[in-house]
Structure 1
Amino acid sequence: MVLIVRVLMGVIKDRHGTYYARKTVPAKPTGLRRAVALELGTAKPAQSHLKRSLGTKDVRDANVRAKPVLAEFDRIIAKAKARLAATTEAVVKRTSLNDTEIKRMAEYVYATALKEDEALRFSGRLELLGPHGENVNADAHGDILRDFQQQFAVGDVSFAEQRAQNALAGFGITLDPSCTAYHSLCIESAKAFLKALDDIGLRYAGAVIETPRLAGSKALDDHREGRTLQDALDGWKRHRARPKRTVDEFGRSVDMFIQLHGNMPVMAIKKTHAIEFRKALQDAPRHRTGDLLRATLPAQAAWGREHPDEPRITAATVNKQLGGVQSICIWANDNGLVPDDVQWTDPFSKLRLPEERSERTSFDAAELQQLFSAPIFTDHRFPLGAHGAAGFWLPVLALFTGARQAELGSLTAANVRTDAETGVALLHFVTERARGKRVKTDASERVVPVHPDVIRLGFLAYVEERRKADGADAWLFPSVAPDRGRAGIPAWYSGLAVTCARRA
C-alpha cells in the first residue's frame, strides 16, 4: 500500500532532499518588499522571498517544524506593512471600520484560506511515503488547528494578523494598527481562519466544501463575465455614445460603491448594501483637501464621523450618486447581466433623500436691468471668463426663451431654422445622443420662436457666421458645448438660466 501525503504549503524540498520553508512577499502594495528588507535589516534593496531551512529530510518532521517558521514570516510581513503604511503620505490612514467592512474582510479571510487549500490539492505537489504510518498530512493539519485554537482561547490572535493585513490590502484600506478597529478585525479574521481550518479538515474526511466566490477580490474572481457591477458599467458605456459628463458621473458613483462593498455581482446587491452606501455618502465631508481628495468612500465617511462639525455633502449630491449606481443596475437587469432565473428587484428604489428647496428667487426688473447693464452687453467688452460669444448670447437667450443652460449650451447651427410658410426663425430643442445633446425629458423636445429683440441684436447673423466657419452642424457656442462639459459656462448665466426657466 502506498500512502499519498501532501506537503504543507510553503514547504519545499531542495535538490539535496532537505526541506525548507519559503514564502513570497507580495508585490503589492508598492514598496512592501523594500519595507520587508528594512524590517530584516539586510543590505538588499528589496526582499521578494522569505526562506529558511528546516534541517530535515523527513516530510512529517518538516510539516511540524514549518509551522512556527511560516508564522514568523507572516509576522515579519505584517510589521513591514505597518512600517510602509506609517511612511506612506499619499494614503489616508483610517482609525475606524464599520461593521460591514469588518464582515466583508472576515469573509475574504475565510475564502482565501479555502482557495489556498484548493489550489494546493490540485497543484500536483504530492509526496509518496512507504506502506507504514498513518496520514500524517491530515494529522499535521489537526496539530495546526489545535495550536491556533489554544492561542485564540487565551486571546492571542496574532496567528491571523497577516491575513487581516492581506484583507486590508485587498480592500485598499490603510488602518492604524493601534486603533480598536484593527484589533476587532484581527479577532474576526481569527474566527474566520479557524472556521476555514475546520472546513479544510472536513475536506480531508471526504466532505465537499465549496470555496466561496467573493466579490471585490481579484484573487477570488468568480469569472462570471458580464455580471458584476463593473462589467455592467463597462457594458453601459459600450452600448451607445453618451455625454462625457454623464459617463464620468456614473463611473464615479460606481467606483465609490465598489470601494465600500467590492465589485459585487449585480444580482447580489441587496437593499442593505444600498442603504449602507447611502449612509457612507451622508457621512462624507463636503469640502475635501489634501489626502482626502484621493481617499476612498469608506475613508471619507470615517473622517466625516471623526469630525462631526464639518459640513457633509448635500442630499442632492447623495441622490445623484445613488441614482448613478441605480441606473447601471437597472441597465444590467434589462440587458441580461442578471440571470433569467433570478427574481431581481431594484435595491435603490425609494432610497432618495428629501432635498432642500433652492432659496434662489426670480430676478426683479431692477436686478435684470443691473445685470444687462454690464459692459459685455453695453460696450461688447468681454471679461476673461465670458467664453467668447457664449458670455453674451447665453444670458440673452435664457431671458427670452426660458431654456435650461444645458439646452442652450448644446445648440448647433442646424437647430436654428426659418419656417418656410411663415418666415419665422425657430429654435429646435432636440436630443442628439451621438453628440451628447439632450433635453431633460421627452416632453422637453420643442420648438421656440426666436424673439424679435434677439434677432435685432444680431443673433441670426451670429448663427450664419458659425455655419460658415464650421459647417451646418457647428456648435453655436463651442467653448461650452457638450464635448467640453458645462464647467465653462459663465457663472452669471447659470443663475439667470435657472431663474428664467422657472418663470417661463
Structure 2
Amino acid sequence: MGAFSFAAPSTHYLRFQPDEFAHHLRLRGSSYYFRQVIPRLGEITLSLRTGDRRTAKGLCHRISKSLSTRFAAVTTQPITSQQRLHEILEELREDARDTLRTFISENEMDDLDSLRWAKEVTQRRIQRTTGEPEDFIKLHAKLEFLEALEAKMNGNAMKLVTLAMHGATGALGEIAQQPSPKVLLASAEALQPAASSEPSDDYSDGSTAGHTFAQLVEQYTHEQKMKGKWSDKSELEAGAVVRILTALVPSGPVDGLTRKDFVRVSELLSNFPAQASKRFPHVADLRELALMNHAPDVLMSITTQNKHITRLSTILKWAELNGLIRKNLAEGLVKEKGGRASEEKSAFSNDDLRLIFRCIAEKRTPKPYKTNRNGGNPIQAFHYWVPVLGYYTGARVNEIASLRPQDVRQVDDVWCIDICQQNDGNKRTKTRAGDRIVPLHPELLRMGFVQFALKAAERECPRLFMELKMSPNGYGGTVSNWFNGHPDKSHSLYLRAGIRGANLSFHSLRHSFTTNMERARVDPITLKRLVGHAMDDMTYGRYSKGINPQIAFEELSKLPSLSDDILVPFEEWMPSMA
C-alpha cells in the first residue's frame, strides 16, 4: 500500500506512510478487536465479535484493505475545511462498519449468539436514538423481527404466537416459512433507520459479556494514568483497594452478575480487617480472609468500607459510560456512618499532647529495638519537629515530611510555611485547597524552627528532613510507621509516651489542632484556610484572594501552647545539628 496524502486547510500536505496506516488486533475478554489509527485524524476501533484468532485475522485484513481503498479515494478530493477532515474520518468508520456487517451477515448469522448480539445492538440504538419518531418505530420493528426470528430458531412456537398477538412486524408469516436466517436478517436490516438519522454504532463499546472486573480495573487504571489524574501514590493507594475488590467481586463477566452479588461484596467488606497485609501477611486469599472471624476492633471502619464501595461504584460507572458493561449495579451501597464524623477519629487530649512532648523532651523517641553504630538510640531531627509541627500547624503528615528549606519564608513580615504541590512528584498536597500559607505559631518560633530551616538551606539540603526516605506512601510513610507503629500499636510513639486509646494516629494531631482552635473561637473561614479545606461558600471559595498572613497569625496565636514548659529549643535538644 503506497503513501497517502491530502491537502490540509492550511494548504500544506499531510503524508501517511504504509507503516503509519498499520492495523492492530487485540483480544479483550473473549472477543477480538480491530484498531486502526488514522494519523492526525483519529482512530477506528471495532469489536469483531469473535474469539477465534484465525477468523479475526481474516476479518482484520478485510476491513483494513477496504479502509485503505476508501482512504485513497477520499484523499484525491480537495480538502477545504477542518470539518471535511472529520467527515472523512466518519466515512472511513462507516466503511469499516459496513465491511463488518457484510462479513457477519455472510458468515455468522446462523449462529444464535450472533442473533442475540444483533438484538443487543438494536436495543442500544433504541436507547441512544434522538432522531424522528419514525426512527424509533423502525428500530422497535427491527427488534420485534429479531425476537420472532430467535423464537423460530429456538423452536418456540408460543413466542411466535405472542408476537403475532402484539402485531410484531407484519412479516411473521415470512419468518415462519423462511428456512434461512440470513435472508430474514437482511430483511431486518431494511427496518432500521438511515445512518444519518441515528447515532453511529461503533461496534466497539465492549458491552460484550466478556469483561471481568479485573479487566475493567486494568482499563480504568490505564486511562487514569494516561490522563494524568493519578500520581504514583494515588495509583498505589488505589491498587491496594482494587486488589481487595478484585478478590471479593465474583469472577466471570460483570454483566453476568446481579445486584445481590454486589450487596454480598459490601457484606464481605464489613468483615474485612484493616491493614490486612500487616496483620495477616501469610494469608494470600483475600476472600478467605473476609470469611474469617475477626474481633470488632480489627475490622475496617465504616469510612474505609465506604471508600472501597465508592471505588467499586466509580469503576463500574466508568465502565457503563464507556459502554463496557450494561449497568452499574454497585451504586447506592454506601453505608450510613451512624454518628458524627468526629466520633470516628479520635483527637489527642491536651494531657495526651503534653505526654507526647515530654516523651520527645526525654528523648524516648527512637523505637526500642533501634540502635546506632555506637550502640545508642539514634535520635533524629524529625523526632522533634514533625509531631510539634503536626499540632502547631494542623498539617497532614506528608505535607510536613516533604517540606523544603524554601518553604519556610516571610510573607508580609510574617514567618510562614508554604504548603504547596510541586511538579517533581515528591511534594504534594492532598487537594487543590491544600495549597496554602500557614503562619508559624509563636511556640515554633521559640523552638527555633526558622533557624533550623535556614541552616538546612545553607547546607543546600533539598528537604528539611533528609533522614526520611521516599516510600509508597510518600515521605510521610516513615513518620506514620514510627508514630503509629504496627496495627497492634506496638512500638508506636504515643504508646511509649503512655497514651492509651482507640482510633489514634498521627492524624489525631490535626484533629487536636482543629478542636483547640474551635474552642478558642477562631474565625471558621480562617480555620478552614489554615487546614486546607475547600470553601463551601462560592463567595469565599471563588472570589476571595486567600489568607491574610497577619490576621492568620493573630488567630493562630490563640492555639494553646502546650510545650513551652516542657520542650527546650531544638539546638539544645540536638546539639549535633546546631
**Length-normalised TM-score, structure 1:** 0.46
**Length-normalised TM-score, structure 2:** 0.41
